[in-house]
Structures are given as structure tokens and as C-alpha cells.
Structure 1
Amino acid sequence: MTSALPHRHWFDYVFLSIRTLWFLAGVNYIVSNPGNYNHGSHLLGAAGMLGVALSFFFIIYLVPLVLYMRQRRLTVYPVIAEMALSGAFNCFFEGNSTNEFAFYNLPALAMAYMSGSRLGIGLAVSSVVATPLLASLVWGFGLESAVNIIVDGLIFLAIGYSFRKLVSSFFQIKRMNGIIGEQNRTLELYANQIEQLTLTQERSRLSRELHDTVGHTFTTTITGMDAVYYLIDADREEAKRSLRELLDVTRSGLDEVRRHIHQIAPEGEERSLTLVLSGIAREFASFTDTAVDYDAEGEEYPVPENVRTALVRCVQEALTNAKKHGFATAIRIRLTYHPDRLQLIVKDNGAGTNQLVEGFGLHAMGERISNAHGSLHVASSPGYGVTIECHIPALWRAEIRQSEGA
């Protein structure tokens, strides 16, 4: 098993510096004590191998270090190289294991620091324990000296292992911070998308509300003003009265537009849905010279604001379309309170068509009814006008009964 090594930590350069100082101190010791390496009691002493000892010591310094610094992931190869080279040097060149320079302490630290797996740590511990024991057998020094070297080696191994854990923890925290940063950027992107979506939905809602409000008000006003235009010569007082009523309707429409623009929810209506729709039908009939027959059936019950708004806007849009596009002279509105649903039917005697095109108004009407979990059906044929039928399930009544039963 290997561990990722994203890039160098400053601990690596500290380790490089310490290892270089150890190498220079070791070279100084070998040169200062040539007798330890050219003495006849050494296995290679007879050949006068001081140069060989220095060369071997340089290999010990360089090879594990190069393997470690060049790898992209932590592997056991630098540990194996350190274990084999330092162990061999300690066994075959360091005859005097009680000298002033402890050659094997830094290799013990290095093996633990360069290890990124349990296998590497296991090899390091085995080497720290086995090498002094093997050297004691080769050179015949006592077990007590070997145990002292082992203890020192284990201490340095623990120090190296602690340094490796610190570096690994640093990279893990940095990697986690990177993941957290990426997730934060993703969340910010999602938040911006949701914000844009919400803004788009709100704009769409406002456009529907303004379309229905402005369209209904303008249609009523224009039709009423057409009537006043012809009435003003025949009956000026009646014309003035009609103009005052048109002003009231226009002001009411303006107030509603202002509420939508300023994102202020309409004040809670005290009047029932039946009375609200009746008032709309009466105003439309009064100002457009259209016969509007409104009828409510069934036992009335409270209706949520979203359902109330959807039905009111549907009636307004249906009346506007009937007069503006169908040139209707008579419109019938029927609201039925079923125990489990509301039914609204608006039928006019306009021109009708075989090719009914869903414009903005009908599309907005369908969205409102759909948002209230209802259904909308529009039918038309030439000479028979348009019939709009809405069904909205009274889900809120079931919720109220459940809460009361609980």
C-alpha cells in the first residue's frame, strides 16, 4: 500500500538538512578515526579500505534519499534501501559499536520518516532490532550494548514516525480543505442557480399577475369608455356616473398593480370567494354591456389564498378573452362547491374557433390551476364560443379534518 505525496513539505527539507549534517559528521568521524576502518581486526581492514568505507557511507547517504525525493507516492523502496545499506555498513564496518558517533540512529529515524505504510514501519522496526543483534554476533560485543543501540534506534524511529504523521496529517487536512473549498464553490453555484430560478419564477408569477390585472382592468375600462363615448351626447349625467365608476375600477386596478410591483401580498379578503367572483361579474357586465350570469352552488366553505387567487384570475382572464377575442355578448359563470373539490365553469357565446391557440393568458391560467393541484380544460368550436372548466381538489379540507381528529 502506498500513500500519495502531493508535493514537498518543509519537513522534507529539514530532513534533507539533518541527513546532510549527519553525513558530514560521519565523514569527519571516519577520517578522524582511520584506525577503526584499517585495523586488522576488521573484515576488510587488511586491504586498507578507508576509501571503501567513505564510498559506502556516501552511497548510504545518497541512494535512499534519492529514492525518497524522486518518488511521487510513498513506497517501501527507500526503507528497504536504507535498511540494507545502513544495516550492512553497521555490521561490516562499524566494529566498535560503543564509539562516540552512533551511525544507526539517523537511519532509524529516516526509515520511519520515509515510510508510508504498515509494511514500511514493520521493516524499520525489524531492522532496528535485528541489525544491532547481528552486529553483536559479528563483532562479539555484549548483549547490553546491543540492547542500548536498539533502545536508541527505537527512540529515533518513534521520532521519525511522529514527523511522518505530522506531514501526512498536514496533507490530509490540506486535501480536505481543498474538497471543502470545492464543495463550497459547488454550493455557491447551486445557490446562484436556485436564486436565478427563484427570480425567474417570481418574475413569471408577477408577469402573470400583471397580465391578468392590467388586461382585465384595461378591457373593462376601454369597453366602458366606448359606451360613455356614445352616451355622452344622449345623457350627460349618466355618462358622468359611468365615468366615475370607471375611475373607481381603474384606481382599483392601479392599486393591485402597485401591490404586485412592491411584492406586497394582497390583504386578506373578508369577503367570501362567492362574493368576490360575483363582484367581478357585476363590474364586468356594468362596464362592457355584456350579460354576465353568475351562479354559485353547494355549501360554501373556506378556500386557501392560492386557490382563491387562481380562481379569481381565471375568471378575469376568461371574461377578458371572451370580450376581447370572441366578441361575446353573454357569459355564464358557475362555481360549484363539491365536498371534495371546487368546480368553475365559464362559458361564453362568442365566435369560437376550431384552432384554439394557447396564448400567455391561457398558459398562465393553466399554471395557476396546476399549482393548486387542479386541472383545466378549454373547449371551443365555431359559433359556440369557448367553455373553460376548472377542477381543484379540496385537499385542505382533508388536512383540517385529520388535524381535528388528531
Structure 2
Amino acid sequence: MLELFASVNNRIYVLLTFKVLLFMSFVHQLWNLDRPIPFAVWPLVGALALNDFIRGRYGLLSYRKRSAFVYSMAASMFILAALNLLLPSIGISALIQLILIELIIFGDRLIPLLVGLDGMAYVLPDLVSFPLGDQLFNDVINFAGFLVVGLLFRTIIAEKTRTERLYSELQDANRKLQLYSSMVQELTITKERTRIAQEMHDSIGHSLVALGMNLEYAYQTVDQSPERTKEVLGKTLLISKEGMASLRKAVDTLNPTNKIDHLRVALNELFSNFDPTTGVGFELELDSSIEEQPSKIKDCLLKTVREALTNGIRHGGATRFHIRIVKSKEGIYMQIRNNGQVSHSLDKSYGLLGMEKRITALGGQMMIHLNPEFAIEVRLPVVSGKTELNSMDKGGICLD
């Protein structure tokens, strides 16, 4: 039953149906009345019908025009009061109660003045009778009971309407949440692909450069020094295995960053890929206090050095590298210099862009100098204390 009254339009149609039936019953009683009818009754009946028709026809029941609704309701109550006074006890009280229902259900708030006016129209014949009888008390009780029932019904309808509105809002929010979830998933996948691609470029690219240099040396010395060539080929085999291990790490999405316990050891292992036979030399100045930094910091430093070596050898033909990493109150400072060929212009390659992303993700800066020799300078914030370390582990993301 409540489903029928949940919609405003349904309530209007039901109310209009009852109005028509009650009005036809009222007119039928007037037509068959066996006593004379005052002249003013028929004009009042016509005015009541016209007023109610206009209020329903132009959407006044749905409160689109508040002032017109109030004036129309007041006019109907005055007309019904006059009809109830002229012809009491012929069914006009039912029309007055129906006006009260219309006011309760279709008003956005209950207007006490209109409720009082409707109640006055309902008990008007009892008020003008003399002496006042028990009927007045009975009519007041009946009207009050009808008002309470109407208010309860209004509350039920309002609660159901509110529930449906909240359910609709919940559905909209759920659709938006699903859309956002899909977008986050796509962004996560894209970010992970970028991370793996960067890791593959950095690690595999470094291994391939080292492999190429060792194989070239082996090719040149295979006739003159077979034993030395065998030694270099063994080194090349080891580098290839390390490259395969790096590849596995690159596609391991469950291990976003490699844990580095000792940065100096990791850097020396990196340098060892370029055996002195390749003609590449390295100088390392490393502040021991750097080892106290989080693994994410040391991981970014290591990968930056690795990419700088790869780019310097591949693009600049560098044979000497100087790496300096120190820590001060201002932060961590790293400089990587090489003796490779320097171009007057520099286009940032995929590797350089990856280096910059890793450093800026940790709140640092990277600068490139071309004169007098090619140099990369990196500045990272110092992390000290347990609170800052936890904050770095949660918020700082090193884009691999």
C-alpha cells in the first residue's frame, strides 16, 4: 500500500479520485434533498469544484507554487465552512477531512493556521448552535484523531521517501566508487609497467654494456692470450647470470625495491663488472654515514650510479669515473664525473629521465653539467631518527 503513495504523482491521482467520488456523492445528496436549498449553495459548490480543479490541474498539489497552494487551500476551507454552515450533516465533513489530508500529505510543512481553519470549518455548525451540545466535543475529538492519523501517515511516507533518496544516492556513490576503483587500478598497472620497464632498462642495459666490452676484449685477445681470454669469458658468463637475476627482479612485482645493506659493497660489485682489462677505472669517495640511511635512499644512489656508468660508457666513451657521496646537515650530496666526450647539447634519454624520477620521488634534485667535463650532481634529504625513517618508508617511493 505504501508503494502506491510513495510517488507524488500517485498520491495526486489517488486524492483526485477520492475527491471526485466524494464530490459526486455530495452533489447527489444535494440533488435528492427533500427540503429547499439556499440559493448560495450552488454557486459555492461551483466555486469549490473550480478551485480544486485549478489546484490539481496546474501542479499546485506538488507545492511548486507555495503561495498559490496556500491561498487555494484557504479558499476551499472557507467555501466548505460556508457549505457546512448552510447544509450541515449531508457529507460535507468528509470533504473537509479530505482537505486536511491534502494539506498533510502535499505540504512541505504543516501550516497551523490552515489546520485551525479546517478544524473551524469542521465544527462550525456546532459552534453556532445554542446551547453548545456534546456533539461539539465529539467532533473535536474526531477531527483531532483524524489529524493524528494523517500526521503518522505523513511521517511514514516521508521516511520511505527519504530511504529511497538515500538508496539512490548510495547507488550513485557506489557507481562513482567503482569508476574510481577502475581508474586507480589502471593507474596502478601503468605505474607498475613503468617501474618494471625502468628497472629492465637500468639493470639489463648496464649488464649488456659490460658484456659488450668484455666480449670485445676477448675477441681482440683470443689469439695472443688464450688464457686471459678464457678468464674474461668466465667474467662475461658471470655478468650474464647477474643480468638474468636482475631481469627476474625487474618482473617481480612483489619486491618493488631491493634491500641494500651495504652501499659500498654494492658499488664495488658494480665496478667489478668492468674488470681493469676493459680499460675502465673508478674512484669512489663514500661517507660511511651514508650506510645509516634507509634502503630506499641507498637503492636510488646505487641505481643512479649504475645508469650514469652505462650512459657514460655507451654514449660518451668514458674510461674514467669519479664518484663522490657525502652527507652533511643540508643533505646527501653525490657527484659522478667522467672523462667521456661532452656534447654541447643534451637530450634527456630514458635512462636520465628515470634517474630524475627516482631522485625527485624522494624529495631530491638532480643537475647535469657539461663543462669542463660531464658531471651529474644529486642532492637528497637526510633521513635520521625512527619517525623520519618510518615516514620515508611509507611516503617516499623510488620509481624503479
Q: Which residue, 84, 102, 107 being the options, matches 2:75?
A: 84
Please name the residue that 1:105 is paired with.
97
Please name the residue that 1:365 is paired with.
355
Q: Indicate how the Cα distance of structure 1 residues 296 and 101 shifts in structure 2: closer, same or farther if over 3 A, else same.
A: closer
Task: Determine whether 1:234 maps to 2:234.
Answer: no
Q: For each residue in 1:366-389, what CA deviation from the matched residue of structure 2 results, as whole angstroms up to 9, or x when unmatched?
A: 1112222222222113xx431122
Distance in 2 of aligned mates of 1:328 and 1:126: 99
Please name the residue that 2:378 is paired with.
390
Q: For each residue in 1:31-78, what CA deviation from the matched residue of structure 2 results, as whole angstroms up to 9, or x when unmatched?
A: 34342xx16xxxx2xx5x775576466447645444556656263534
Task: Determine whether 1:30 maps to 2:18.
Answer: no
Distance in 2 of aligned mates of 1:108 and 1:299: 85
Distance in 2 of aligned mates of 1:305 and 1:74: 69
Q: Indicate how the Cα distance of structure 1 residues 296 and 163 shifts in structure 2: closer, same or farther if over 3 A, else same.
A: same
Please name the residue that 2:398 is paired with.
none
Distance in 1 of aligned mates of 2:41 and 2:287: 116
Shift in Å at residue 319 of structure 1?
0.9
Q: Indicate how the Cα distance of structure 1 residues 12 and 141 shifts in structure 2: closer, same or farther if over 3 A, else same.
A: farther
Q: Which residue, 288, 298, 309 being the options, matches 1:308?
A: 298
Task: Determine whether 1:292 maps to 2:282.
Answer: yes
Equivalences for residues 31-46 of structure 1 within 5 A = 31-35=31-35, 38=36, 44=38
Q: Which residue, 337, 349, 358 being the options, matches 1:347?
A: 337
Q: Indicate how the Cα distance of structure 1 residues 286 and 188 shifts in structure 2: closer, same or farther if over 3 A, else same.
A: farther
1:117 maps to a residue whose letter is: R
8 A Cα contact 2:211 2:239, kept in partner: yes
8 A Cα contact 1:80 1:123, kept in partner: no
| TM-score, length-scaled by structure 1 | 0.81
8 A Cα contact 1:209 1:260, kept in partner: yes
2:140 maps to a residue whose letter is: I
Q: CA RMSD in A?
A: 3.3
8 A Cα contact 2:359 2:380, kept in partner: yes
Give the match's secondary structure for 2:205: helix
Task: Determine whether 1:257 maps to 2:238.
Answer: no
Distance in 1 of aligned mates of 2:196 and 2:301: 16
Shift in Å at residue 336 of structure 1?
2.7
Shift in Å at residue 396 of structure 1?
3.3
Shift in Å at residue 287 of structure 1?
6.3
Distance in 1 of aligned mates of 2:174 and 2:333: 48
Please name the residue that 2:397 is paired with.
none
Q: Indicate how the Cα distance of structure 1 residues 375 and 267 shifts in structure 2: closer, same or farther if over 3 A, else same.
A: closer
Q: Indicate how the Cα distance of structure 1 residues 117 and 228 shifts in structure 2: closer, same or farther if over 3 A, else same.
A: same
| TM-score, length-scaled by structure 2 | 0.82
8 A Cα contact 2:325 2:332, kept in partner: yes
Shift in Å at residue 327 of structure 1?
1.0
Shift in Å at residue 232 of structure 1?
1.1
**Alignment gaps of 5+ in structure 1:** 1-5
Give the match's secondary structure for 1:233: coil
Q: Indicate how the Cα distance of structure 1 residues 377 and 79 shifts in structure 2: closer, same or farther if over 3 A, else same.
A: closer
1:169 maps to a residue whose letter is: E
Shift in Å at residue 338 of structure 1?
4.1
Distance in 1 of aligned mates of 2:389 and 2:360: 24
1:14 maps to a residue whose letter is: V
Tell me whether 330-339 or 201-210 shows the greater mean CA deviation. 330-339
1:391 maps to a residue whose letter is: R
Shift in Å at residue 124 of structure 1?
2.7
Shift in Å at residue 129 of structure 1?
3.1
Q: Indicate how the Cα distance of structure 1 residues 23 and 288 shifts in structure 2: closer, same or farther if over 3 A, else same.
A: farther
8 A Cα contact 2:80 2:92, kept in partner: no
Please name the residue that 2:15 is paired with.
15
Distance in 1 of aligned mates of 2:386 and 2:57: 77
8 A Cα contact 2:41 2:86, kept in partner: no
Equivalences for residues 101-140 of structure 1 within 5 A = 102-103=93-94, 104-118=96-110, 121-132=111-122, 134-136=124-126
Q: Indicate how the Cα distance of structure 1 residues 54 and 264 shifts in structure 2: closer, same or farther if over 3 A, else same.
A: closer
Task: Determine whether 1:177 maps to 2:188.
Answer: no
Give the match's secondary structure for 2:291: coil
8 A Cα contact 2:293 2:383, kept in partner: no
Give the match's secondary structure for 2:316: coil
Distance in 2 of aligned mates of 1:316 and 1:402: 27
Q: Indicate how the Cα distance of structure 1 residues 155 and 124 shifts in structure 2: closer, same or farther if over 3 A, else same.
A: farther
Distance in 1 of aligned mates of 2:187 and 2:383: 27
2:326 maps to a residue whose letter is: T
Q: Give the percent of matched residue pairs that are identical in Structure 1 and Structure 2.
A: 20
8 A Cα contact 1:294 1:333, kept in partner: yes
Distance in 1 of aligned mates of 2:65 and 2:133: 35
Please name the residue that 1:190 is paired with.
180
Tell me whether 154-163 or 53-62 shows the greater mean CA deviation. 53-62
Task: Determine whether 1:73 maps to 2:61.
Answer: no
Distance in 2 of aligned mates of 1:84 and 1:386: 93
